[in-house]
């Protein structure tokens, strides 16, 4: 018998009735059973677990660099990961710290985990990228376990997996089964979008999200940092943008030091930070600190006093964007920037006589999407000259803007049929794409909505194998209209965990019952690690969340 | 100009677009404007606010017993309320505590709030009840403010109201406008149901809920303490009930000391604690520790090994219930107990040959609701003999069980038309009733669902004035299938606040725009007091929640 269950026992009853719930909402209630994969989440590509188990002594167990590893003690990324995972595994153990710290070696002990970076360049001091090798192999056998990975990024994932294999036996002794795992992600881009404009998100919440993303093997933090409502990004070049455009110029901004901290915290967990600066729409907050950036709207022949999207007909606009995105390219080390480009409302442009004149000069007729394309094209050139790649929301593709071959098209609109058609159409044009439509986690509904997130598959559309290969992944989005630090974490987890497994594990990992069993344990583990991840269904965790 | 706004400034933009939200969900977006009632919530019955304002010095302002008050320094309920509200009002103030604490009296200062209990019996050491007088009058005028209330219960509400009137001017100075308020609740019973069976709720979460209930003038904590899934109530008489029936016999139970603490914490805030012990259905967890309590189900001619509702045909059942409810009557001081009685499934009773025989003897035919009534009748007699009143879910009334005249019928089923018909029918039969159907807060949906809660009115049904008077209030219910300590508080607040105003304020307080403005400030105040109440919409609070 595998002993995973004793780590985190969850009970739930299968009664036909659901107390006092309106009848038409009653669902089939799941029953918890231990999965043969224990609490592994997301499920690795290949797993073999034996029935033999070893004990881990908190006083003697060590995570060490393998002698032949290309990453040694100077690789602080791994060293801090060792400490982090040691604390996850043994932190709550009431070990006899006062007893002599002898590394006694009981014959049934697992004494160490050797971490072996096999490639000459461990990438320890670099940043993760879309081409990073995230694979790893983990062999747990007595007396040592070995974690082999070409790069540190795979080692980070392997450490998480190792920590997920450790459980407590009935006496509370930390134990692990002999195991062989061979693992790599199905998709290269596995992201979470957080929105710090509709509500300001204190750094503490962002860091907690990154920490939890690592537990779920997400590797992209899509930081939707500014929007209509507020401009919390403190720009060195244009400080007046947040001075005027943030909810508050001191308490509700991200300073350069804050941004740096987020990026480094993410890097240490193998997570890329892709900022989004969405234009030409969604820019009301930009206009407060940057004169003449937005289009003045007209009421009849006079300016109405309100403003529309970025003004695409002024040279000053492009001078501003050049300087601004040059700063962004320096501040954010990732190879990609998200440029937005969604939901541009033409009403204001149409009302403005200067814009009308420009349309005539350019022979755009009445087609304002041509004006939008004109703007976007120039913006893309600016970003390209900074040697950055870009992501854009699907409208930019839909409007026929000329795009670089390596552009990533971010699909977010429509129902299932519509987004699947869009994925087919984008990939038929040879572009890479990533999917978000089915994963708008801000859209809450009663019951186990994680199952819907879990069932969506970004490669389920009509297309050739070549087309399918152009799908680089997806992102779960938590838009901020109804979310701030008070409710973000339990709303994100474990619902985003469903997306994490879809993007990491093999396509055929679709057993919803097995997923429920593993995810129930995974969520209790997140709770034990201090993350208020909400419950899937009636049940309990051995260590409940103690905050309020 | 009133200066409430500077207390808690909230901004929100009225854009036609809602970034990246699926179009059919786009809603009209509210704009924040200061209400002439500032941040008062729930709105008092009569409010007159003048434009004259006074300052409050944190070093000299005092809350004192009026000389003629019937409650003096020995009334620890009031003394601890004074401290609580002083801390709410001045806790975050960075006052010059090192300067000499001279009670200097600036001519424009408000120097004290005198609390005057006018009735000879203040009820300071008693428990609140359904007949408690909760009214108060508050006069803020220079140099002293006076809070007059017949009983301490009204004084508690008045202190909350007073604290809601205090704001910070643009220099951070605590200020208050000259004000006259005359206030009392529209309904006597304003409750919150929490469910500690589907998930165990640590005491800390329950106390935080009580604290926040007081901020919203709720006065009943309906503790749905046990159910199918778990029996966390540690009974002195039958300790095996939680020993076997709780999720865990030590970490997931409420000890007598815990229960006592909850009741006293609630009393100090004017809140009644009404426990619910739901029978004969919803009792799977009872059966684990109490042999022969539940009905053995049969498969053909043999017991199937599973159990159904409480076995209504055994004398031992009634002996158990007599002892059990005698204990409950002692442990919980409130005059009422909730006896449940909902959703009884007859399948198991029908399968059992002994029950079939009993049905014949009693001439019940095939009508198992008669058997249910037989059980409930005997249970009601037991509870009555303990001198307790009872609440029951509507099914018990629907099934025609004979009830005491003072029974409260709790309506929870159906759609709007159905529950309004039920309210009409219950009150036509002369029973008092309270409503929960429209206030199932566990049912989450995207967007501002508080507006739906706000619009429901428990007296909106066809009936005479006499019938309307039989409506004693309502309860917001947060069932626990998908709720535990990780997500309870932001899911409850400020959504339950909408119900709080409906049950307290005058029937004609229905302006949803004004409610949005006051509630936005009220929720920021809850956040400032340490409660992670979730946002209503895009906006910010001066002091954001700092937890994770």
pLDDT at A104 over 70: no
Q: Is A343 a catalytic residue?
A: yes
B439 vs A279: CA distance, rounded Å: 41
How many C-beta atoms lie closer than 10 Å to residue A446's C-beta?
16
Catalytic residue from among A33, A343, A481, A544:
A343
Structure confidence at residue A91 (pLDDT): 85
Q: Which two three-digit tokens encode residue A401?
A: 């803007």
Q: What pLDDT band is residue B17 in, cutting at 50, 70 and 90?
A: very low
Task: Report pLDDT digits (tens) over B508-536.
Answer: 999 999 999 999 999 999 999 999 999 99
- Of A82-86, A318-322, A488-492, B6-10, least confident by mean pLDDT is B6-10
Task: Report pLDDT digits (tens) over B219-230.
Answer: 999 999 999 999
**What's the whole-number mean pLDDT along residues A161-176?**
95
Closest CB to B544: pick one of A15, A200, A539: A200
Judged by CB atoms within 8 Å, which residues 300-319 of B form the interface with A?
none
Task: Kindly determine whether residue A18 and residue B481, on different chains, have CB atoms separated by under 8 Å.
Answer: yes
Its ipTM equals 0.91
B538 vs A284: CA distance, rounded Å: 14
Q: What pLDDT band is residue B91 in, cutting at 50, 70 and 90?
A: confident
Q: What pLDDT band is residue A41 in, cutting at 50, 70 and 90?
A: very high
Task: Kindly determine whether residue B445 and residue A446, on different chains, have CB atoms separated by under 8 Å.
Answer: yes
Closest CB to A485: pick one of B199, B205, B545: B545
Cβ-contact A56, A105 below 8 angstroms: no
Largest CA distance in chain A: 89
Average pLDDT of chain B, as a whole number: 92
State the burial class of residue B107 (Cβ atoms within 10 Å of its Cβ: 0-12, 13-18, 19+): exposed
Task: Report pLDDT digits (tens) over B138-168.
Answer: 999 999 999 999 999 999 999 999 999 999 9
Each residue of A336-350: b (16+ CB within 10 Å) or e? bbbbbbbbbbbebbb
What is the pTM assigned to this prediction?
0.93
Task: Kindly determine whether residue A11 and residue B548, on different chains, have CB atoms separated by under 8 Å.
Answer: no
Cα distance between the two ends of chain B: 38
Percent of chain B with pLDDT over 90: 88
Nearest chain A residue to B206 by CA distance is A548
Task: Report pLDDT digits (tens) over B47-62.
Answer: 999 999 999 999 899 9
* Of residues B213, B220, B455, B237, the one with CA closest to residue B330: B237
Q: Which two three-digit tokens encode residue A56?
A: 């881990």
**What's the whole-number mean pLDDT along residues A516-544?**
97
Percent of chain A with pLDDT over 70: 92
Task: Report pLDDT digits (tens) over A476-496.
Answer: 999 999 999 999 999 999 999
Closest CB to B16: pick one of A342, A345, A537: A345
Structure confidence at residue A22 (pLDDT): 39
Task: Report pLDDT digits (tens) over B387-420.
Answer: 999 999 999 999 988 888 889 999 999 999 999 9
Structure confidence at residue B96 (pLDDT): 56
* Of residues B494, B540, B530, the one with CA closest to residue B218: B494
A412 vs A475: CA distance, rounded Å: 10
Backbone phi, then psi, for B50, in 5-degree steps?
-95, 170
Question: Alpha carbon of A146 to those of A70, A124, A247, A515: distances in Å?
Answer: 15, 19, 50, 27
Backbone phi, then psi, for B93, in 5-degree steps?
-70, 130
A20 vs A5: CA distance, rounded Å: 31
pLDDT at A8 over 90: no
Task: Report pLDDT digits (tens) over A10-38.
Answer: 333 333 334 444 333 334 556 788 999 99
Q: What pLDDT band is residue B94 in, cutting at 50, 70 and 90?
A: low
- Chain A residues whose CB is inside 8 A of the B535 CB are 199, 482-484, 486-487
Judged by CB atoms within 8 Å, which residues 436-455 of A form the interface with B?
440, 442-447
Cβ-contact A434, A411 below 8 angstroms: yes
* Of residues B11, B287, B76, the one with CA closest to residue A244: B11
Q: For chains A and B, what is the number of CB pairs under 8 angstroms?
A: 218
Task: Kindly determine whether residue A542 and residue B251, on different chains, have CB atoms separated by under 8 Å.
Answer: yes
Task: Report pLDDT digits (tens) over A348-407.
Answer: 999 999 999 999 999 999 999 999 999 999 999 999 999 999 999 999 999 988 888 889
- Chain B residues whose CB is inside 8 A of the A199 CB are 535, 538-540
Task: Report pLDDT digits (tens) over A44-74.
Answer: 999 999 999 999 999 899 999 999 999 999 9
Cβ-contact A376, A396 below 8 angstroms: yes
* Of residues B408, B413, B412, B494, the one with CA closest to residue B454: B494
Judged by CB atoms within 8 Å, which residues 167-206 of B form the interface with A?
195, 198-200, 202, 204-205
Best mutation target, B307, B443, B481, to test chain A (most A CBs within 10 A): B481
Task: Kindly determine whether residue A538 and residue B342, on different chains, have CB atoms separated by under 8 Å.
Answer: no
Q: In 3-state terms, what secondary structure has residue A339? A: coil
B546 vs B548: CA distance, rounded Å: 7
3-state SS record for B23-88: HHHCCCCCCCCCCCCCCCCCCCCEEEEEEEEEECCCCCCEEEECCCCCCCCCCHHHHHHHHHHHHH
* Of residues A95, A87, A86, A92, the one with CA closest to residue A115: A86
A79 at interface of B, judged by CB pairs closer than 8 A: no
Q: Kindly report the nearest CA distance between residue A382 and chain B, in angstroms.
A: 24
Q: What pLDDT band is residue B2 in, cutting at 50, 70 and 90?
A: very low
Q: What pLDDT band is residue B547 in, cutting at 50, 70 and 90?
A: confident
B213 at interface of A, judged by CB pairs closer than 8 A: no
Query: Could you write out the DSSP letters of every residue in B138-162?
Result: EEE-SSEEEEEESSHHHHHHHHHHH
Q: What pLDDT band is residue B20 in, cutting at 50, 70 and 90?
A: very low
Q: Which two three-digit tokens encode residue B285?
A: 């967890």
Query: Could you write out the DSSP letters of every residue in A7-37?
Result: GS-------S--TT--GGG--PPP-----TT
* Of residues B167, B217, B215, B210, the one with CA closest to residue B189: B217
β-bridge mates for residue B391, sequence order: B338, B408
For residues A172 and B329, the model is more confident at: B329
Return the residue matching tokens 């006065």: B219
Task: Report pLDDT digits (tens) over A145-155.
Answer: 999 999 999 99
Nearest chain A residue to B488 by CA distance is A548
Task: Kindly determine whether residue B548 and residue A538, on different chains, have CB atoms separated by under 8 Å.
Answer: no
């Amino acid at each position: 018998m595998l002993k995973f269950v004793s780590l985190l026992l969850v009970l739930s009853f299968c009664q036909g009735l659901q107390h006092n719930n309106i009848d038409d909402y009653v669902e089939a209630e799941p029953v918890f059973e231990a999965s043969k994969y224990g609490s592994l989440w997301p499920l690795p590509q290949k797993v073999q677990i034996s029935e033999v188990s070893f004990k881990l002594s908190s006083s003697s167990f060590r995570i060490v660099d393998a002698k032949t590893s290309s990453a040694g003690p100077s690789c602080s990324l791994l060293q801090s990961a060792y400490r982090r995972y040691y604390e996850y595994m043994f932190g709550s153990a009431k070990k006899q710290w006062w007893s002599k710290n002898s590394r006694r070696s009981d014959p049934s002990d697992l004494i160490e985990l050797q971490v072996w970076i096999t490639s000459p360049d461990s990438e320890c001091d670099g940043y993760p990228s879309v081409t990073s090798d995230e694979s790893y192999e983990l062999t747990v056998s007595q007396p040592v376990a070995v974690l082999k990975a070409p790069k540190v990024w795979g080692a980070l994932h392997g450490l998480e997996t190792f920590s997920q294999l450790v459980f407590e036996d009935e006496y509370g002794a930390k134990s692990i089964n002999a195991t062989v795992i061979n693992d790599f992600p199905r998709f290269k881009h596995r992201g979470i979008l957080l929105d710090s404009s509709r509500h300001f998100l204190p750094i503490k919440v962002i860091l907690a999200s990154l920490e939890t993303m690592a537990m779920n093997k997400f590797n992209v933090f899509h930081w939707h940092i500014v929007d209509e409502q507020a401009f919390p990004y403190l720009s060195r070049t244009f400080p007046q943008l947040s001075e005027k455009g943030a909810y508050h110029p001191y308490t509700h901004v991200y300073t350069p030091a804050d941004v740096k901290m987020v990026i480094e915290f993410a890097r240490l967990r193998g997570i890329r930070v892709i900022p989004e600066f969405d234009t030409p729409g969604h820019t009301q907050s930009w206009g407060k600190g940057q004169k003449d950036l937005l289009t003045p709207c007209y009421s009849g022949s006079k300016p109405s006093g309100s403003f529309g999207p970025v003004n695409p007909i002024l040279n000053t606009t492009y001078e501003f964007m050049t300087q601004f995105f040059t700063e962004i390219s320096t501040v954010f080390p990732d190879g990609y920037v998200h440029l937005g480009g969604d939901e541009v409302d033409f009403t204001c442009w149409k009302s403005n006589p200067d814009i009308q004149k420009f349309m005539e000069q350019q022979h755009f007729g009445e087609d304002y999407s041509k004006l939008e394309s004109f703007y976007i094209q120039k913006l893309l050139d600016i970003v390209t000259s900074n040697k950055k790649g870009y992501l854009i929301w699907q409208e930019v593709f839909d409007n026929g803007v000329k795009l670089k071959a390596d552009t990533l098209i971010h699909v977010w609109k429509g129902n299932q049929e519509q987004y699947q058609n869009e994925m087919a159409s984008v990939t038929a044009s040879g572009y890479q794409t990533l999917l978000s439509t089915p994963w708008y986690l801000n859209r809450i509904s009663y019951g186990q909505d994680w199952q819907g997130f879990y069932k969506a598959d970004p490669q389920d559309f009509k297309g050739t194998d070549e087309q399918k290969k152009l799908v680089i992944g997806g992102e779960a989005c938590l838009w901020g209209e109804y979310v701030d630090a008070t409710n973000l974490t339990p709303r994100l987890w474990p619902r985003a965990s469903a997306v994490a497994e879809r993007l990491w594990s093999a396509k055929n990992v679709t057993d919803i019952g097995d997923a429920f069993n593993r995810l129930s344990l995974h969520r209790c583990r997140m709770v034990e690690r201090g993350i208020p991840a909400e419950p899937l269904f009636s049940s309990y965790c051995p260590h409940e969340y103690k905050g309020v």
